[in-house]
């Protein structure tokens, strides 16, 4: 009776095992059909890591035959070219724990293919009896990624180096300007004292010579101030003290501040003053300097006897000031140079007009801080129109803008 039960149990176990084998063979046939539809290399391994089957893409990619692949352990394929430490870690350590693994990169020097980076996606199926292994050659993409990362690293290092040099340059300009300003100011004081007779009477020739010295000293101080202003704005050390201001008043201050210069050149400034207040959110001190700079630029590059016209209008978003001259104008090819640092454009008045090429650069930087803009339209020998735009103050409702019939002139 006991032997009969043992025989029945053995027979039942053999039947179950046979059924599992039949089912597994069916699954293998099923997976084989699937693998042939996949364009990337694909293989099926058994639990001992022997190749059950592979698709045509695998044979073509890795230059191996079907007879030399099926029933072979994966590490033995192609004269052991698949015996890579990373692949062993994946199949023997990581996959049994996780059962599914996506985008696992293996870089290996294949004797027939060279150095390749293969992206592996693996999955255990049928109670871990089979392993599905899909492969994608990402060597080119991987190299591009590494090259891009290396290039990015080099560019960052170069940028940091250039930034360091630029910071050092700005620090030098600032320091040098500070050091130059002190003796230049002292020279100005002593020249003024001599001109006023503190050291006794001077001859006409001596006064003429002191006048030349004084004029050049003033020019030196102007250059130093320009350098200091630009060094501060480049270093991010210019801070706005914004408030809601009537821009019309700032324009009038700029005109008054330039009155002597324009009178010397026999030039006039015409400003159609609006009846309504034009309130903008600005730093009045810095905006006044911007207006003086652009206005002075218009006068310097206009011939004797010419006029400069200023207009202003605004809407709920922007307050726009235009300063138009009838001067020498700017060539189209020179327009990109206009707001660059230390850039001066050649024209018929360049030699007679002194400048550092910093004024318009600084003005643009200040308007950038205001979230405003400055632009120019120009035609050679006809003139230029600078347009300054700055945000309108939200504290004031903008109504219809009218203009007084009279014109303010210098």
Instruction: Specify the number of domains making up the chain.
Output: 3
Given this model, what pLDDT does residue 404 score?
Answer: 35
Given this model, what pLDDT does residue 307 score?
Answer: 93
What is the DSSP track for 240-289? ---EEEEHHHHHHHHHHHTHHHHHHTT-EEEE--BSS--EEEE-HHHHHH
| Out of 5-9, 281-285, 324-328, 334-338, least confident range | 5-9
Together in a domain, 186 and 92: no
Together in a domain, 253 and 388: yes
Given this model, what pLDDT does residue 388 score?
Answer: 95
Q: Flag whether 97 is in a domain.
A: yes
Q: Flag whether 15 is in a domain.
A: no
Whether residue 171 has pLDDT greater than 80: no
Residue 389 is inside which H or E element, if any? strand 383-391
Together in a domain, 289 and 202: no
Q: Flag whether 20 is in a domain.
A: no
Residue 391 is inside which H or E element, if any? strand 383-391
Query: What is the rounded average pLDDT for all residues in the chain?
Result: 81
* pLDDT digits 0-9 by tens, 305-349: 999 999 999 998 999 999 999 988 888 888 888 888 777 776 666
Together in a domain, 118 and 157: no
* Residue 200's CATH number: 1.10.287
N-terminal to C-terminal alpha carbon distance within the chain: 131
Q: Flag whether 3 is in a domain.
A: no
Q: Flag whether 13 is in a domain.
A: no
User: Which among 210, 234, 258 is the end of a domain?
Assistant: 234
User: Which among 234, 256, 280 is the end of a domain?
Assistant: 234
Q: Flag whether 18 is in a domain.
A: no
* pLDDT digits 0-9 by tens, 225-262: 877 788 788 778 788 899 999 999 999 999 998 888 89
Given this model, what pLDDT does residue 256 score?
Answer: 92
Together in a domain, 275 and 339: yes
Could you tell me which residues come within 8 angstroms of residue 91 by beta carbon, excluding any fewer than 6 positions away?
45, 49, 74, 122, 131
* Residue 100's CATH number: 3.30.450.20
**209 three-class SS:** helix
What is the average per-residue pLDDT within 64-91? Answer: 84
Given this model, what pLDDT does residue 401 score?
Answer: 36
Given this model, what pLDDT does residue 410 score?
Answer: 45
Whether residue 405 has pLDDT greater than 50: no
- Side-chain-side CA neighbours of residue 279 (13 Å): 11
Together in a domain, 167 and 76: no
Together in a domain, 168 and 126: no
Instruction: Report the alpha-carbon distance of residue 69 to residue 135 in Å, rounded.
Output: 16
Given this model, what pLDDT does residue 355 score?
Answer: 63
Highest-confidence segment of 5-9, 201-205, 245-249: 245-249
Together in a domain, 305 and 213: no
Together in a domain, 308 and 383: yes
Given this model, what pLDDT does residue 18 score?
Answer: 53
Domain extent, residue 163, equals 151-234
Whether residue 22 has pLDDT greater than 60: no
* pLDDT digits 0-9 by tens, 28-72: 555 666 656 677 888 888 888 998 888 888 888 888 888 888 888
Together in a domain, 199 and 155: yes
Share of the chain above pLDDT 70, in %: 82
More confident residue, 4 or 251: 251
Together in a domain, 263 and 130: no
User: Which among 209, 234, 259 is the end of a domain?
Assistant: 234
| Out of 107-111, 166-170, 217-221, 402-406, least confident range | 402-406
pTM: 0.53
């Amino acid at each position: 009776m006991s032997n009969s039960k043992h025989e029945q149990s053995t027979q039942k176990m053999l039947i179950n095992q046979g059924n599992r084998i039949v089912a597994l063979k069916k699954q293998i046939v099923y997976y084989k059909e699937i693998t042939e539809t996949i364009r990337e290399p694909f293989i099926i391994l058994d639990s001992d890591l022997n190749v059950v089957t592979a698709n045509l893409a695998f044979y073509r990619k890795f230059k191996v035959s079907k007879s030399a692949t099926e029933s072979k352990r994966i590490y033995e394929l192609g004269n052991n070219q698949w015996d890579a430490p990373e692949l062993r870690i994946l199949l023997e350590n990581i996959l049994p724990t996780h059962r599914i693994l996506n985008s696992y990169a293996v870089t290996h020097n294949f004797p027939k293919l060279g150095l390749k980076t293969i992206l592996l996606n693996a999955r255990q199926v049928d109670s871990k009896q089979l392993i599905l292994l899909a492969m994608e050659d990402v060597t080119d993409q991987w190299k591009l990624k590494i090259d891009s990362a290396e290039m990015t690293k080099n560019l960052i290092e170069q940028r940091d180096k250039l930034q360091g040099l630029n910071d050092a340059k700005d620090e030098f300009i600032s320091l040098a300007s500070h050091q130059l300003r002190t003796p230049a100011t002292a020279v100005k004081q002593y020249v003024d004292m001599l001109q006023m007779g503190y050291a006794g009477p001077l001859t006409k020739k001596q006064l003429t010579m002191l006048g030349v010295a004084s004029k050049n000293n003033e020019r030196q101080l102007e250059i130093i101030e320009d350098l200091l202003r630009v060094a501060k704005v480049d270093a991010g050390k210019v801070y706005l003290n914004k408030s809601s201001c009537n821009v019309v008043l700032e324009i009038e201050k700029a005109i008054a501040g330039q009155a002597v210069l324009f009178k010397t050149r026999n030039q006039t400034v015409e400003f159609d003053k609006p009846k309504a207040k034009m309130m903008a959110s600005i730093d009045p001190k810095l905006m006044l300097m911007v207006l003086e700079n652009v206005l002075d630029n218009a006068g310097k590059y206009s011939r004797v006897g010419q006029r400069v016209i200023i207009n202003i209008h605004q809407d709920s978003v922007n307050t726009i000031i235009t300063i138009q001259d009838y001067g020498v104008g700017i060539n189209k090819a020179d327009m990109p140079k206009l707001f660059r640092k230390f850039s001066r454009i050649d024209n018929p008045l360049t030699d007679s007009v002194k400048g550092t090429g910093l004024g318009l650069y600084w003005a643009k930087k200040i308007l950038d801080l205001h979230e405003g803009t400055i632009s120019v339209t120009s035609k050679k020998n006809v003139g230029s129109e600078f347009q300054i735009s700055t945000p309108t103050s939200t504290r004031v409702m903008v109504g219809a803008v009218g203009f007084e019939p009279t014109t303010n002139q210098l």
